Amino acid sequence: MIHLSNVEKVYRTDRIETVALSNINVRVEQGEFISIMGPSGSGKSTLLNVIGLLDVPTGGEVTLNGRLITSYGDRSLARVRNEEIGFIFQTFHLINDLSVVDNVEIPLLYRKMSGAERRKRALKALEQVGLSARVHHFPSQLSGGQQQRVAIARAIVGGPRILLADEPTGNLDSQMGDEVMSILKALNSLEQTTVVMVTHDQRQAEKTARIVRLFDGRQVN
C-alpha cells in the first residue's frame, strides 16, 4: 500500500546541506504494524513525514495504493492526507481551550458533514479509545495517557486507512505507554488499520511485526 523507492531528502540552506534521508526503500502492506527506530537525528521523523505526505522528498518516488504521490500538487496531497492518513505526535498537539469532543471533531471540519454527524463520529472515536466518560473535559484536566488517547481519537475520526505515530509513548510512563500501545494494536488488528510508529522504546517496538532501523539517514536493515 505504501511504497518508497530510493527516497532522498536533503535540506538545503544558503550554507549547509543536511542529508536527512538517503536511498530509502520501504514497502508497507495494508494491515501491517511496523516501527521505525534509530538514534536522535537519524531521520525518523523525516521518514514518517514523507510517508504521511507532510514532507516532499527531494529524490525518489512514493506511491500510495498504486498512485504516484510524488507527482501530486499541494491541494491533492492535502486531500489524500485528510481522508486517508491519521497522525499522532509525542506531545499530543491538542488545542487546550477546546473540549475533548471538539478537539476530536477538528479533522471533520474539512469535510461536507452536518454538525450532528460530526458529533456522532467524534463520540464513537472517543468510545474506541475508552474515553466516553471524559468528552466534555478539557485537555488540561486529563492525564498524559488520556490526552494521547484523545489524540488517537482525533487521528481515527475520519476513518483513515493509515495511522502514523511519531514517538506516541515518548512522553508517557510505561503503564500509560502500554495502554496507548494496546489501543494502536487493537485498531490494527480489529480495523486492519496500517500503523507506522517511530519509537525509541525497544520494548514497544518488539510488539510490532517489523522494525525499520535508521542511522544517519540510511536504512541499516
Ligand X SMILES: Nc1ncnc2c1ncn2[C@@H]1O[C@H](COP(=O)(O)OP(=O)(O)O)[C@@H](O)[C@H]1O
Please spell the DSSP secondary structure of 113-165, one letter per residue. Answer: --HHHHHHHHHHHHHHTT-GGGTTS-GGGS-HHHHHHHHHHHHHTT--SEEEE
Give the chain's length. 221
**Closest CB to ligand X among 37 and 104?**
37
What does the per-residue mask of binding to Mg ion show for 2-41, with x meaning CB under 5 A?
Answer: ----------------------------------------
Tell me, by CB under 6 A, how many residues bind ligand X: 11
| Residues whose CB falls within 8 Å of the CB of residue 180, separated by 6 or more in sequence, listed in order | 145, 148, 149, 152, 168, 169, 172
> Cβ of residue 196: shortest distance to ligand X, in angstroms?
13
Q: With 0-12 CB in 10 A as exposed, 13-18 as middle and 19+ as buried, what is 13?
A: exposed
**Closest CB to Mg ion among 105 and 167?**
167
**Closest CB to Mg ion among 44 and 121?**
44
- What residues numbered 45-104 form the site for ligand X, per CB under 6 A? 45-46
Q: Would you state the cell numbers that stand for residue 137, as one nine-digit string?
A: 473535559
Contact flag: residue 147 with ligand X (CB under 6 A): no
Nearest-CA neighbor of 166 among 20, 11, 44, 38? 44
Which listed residue (22, 35, 42, 169) binds ligand X by CB under 6 A? 42
Which listed residue (3, 38, 194, 205) binds ligand X by CB under 6 A? 38
**Closest CB to ligand X among 17 and 97?**
17
- Give the Cα separation of 101 and 120 in Å (integer): 10
Strands of the 85-89 sheet, one edge to the other: 85-89, 162-166, 194-198, 33-37, 210-215, 218-219
Which listed residue (35, 42, 45, 204) binds Mg ion by CB under 5 A? 45
Q: Would you state the cell numbers that stand for residue 24, as one nine-digit string?
A: 530509502
Q: Would you state the cell numbers that stand for residue 31, as one nine-digit string?
A: 494491515
- What residues numbered 176-205 form the site for ligand X, per CB under 6 A? none
Instruction: Point out which span in 41-49, 64-72, 113-121, 204-212 binds ligand X (CB under 6 A).
Output: 41-49
> Cβ of residue 85: shortest distance to ligand X, in angstroms?
18
What does the per-residue mask of binding to ligand X show for 5-34, with x meaning CB under 6 A?
Answer: ------x------x-x--------------
- 192, 138 Cβ separation under 8 angstroms: no
Contact flag: residue 40 with ligand X (CB under 6 A): yes
Residues that bind Mg ion (CB under 5 A): 44-45
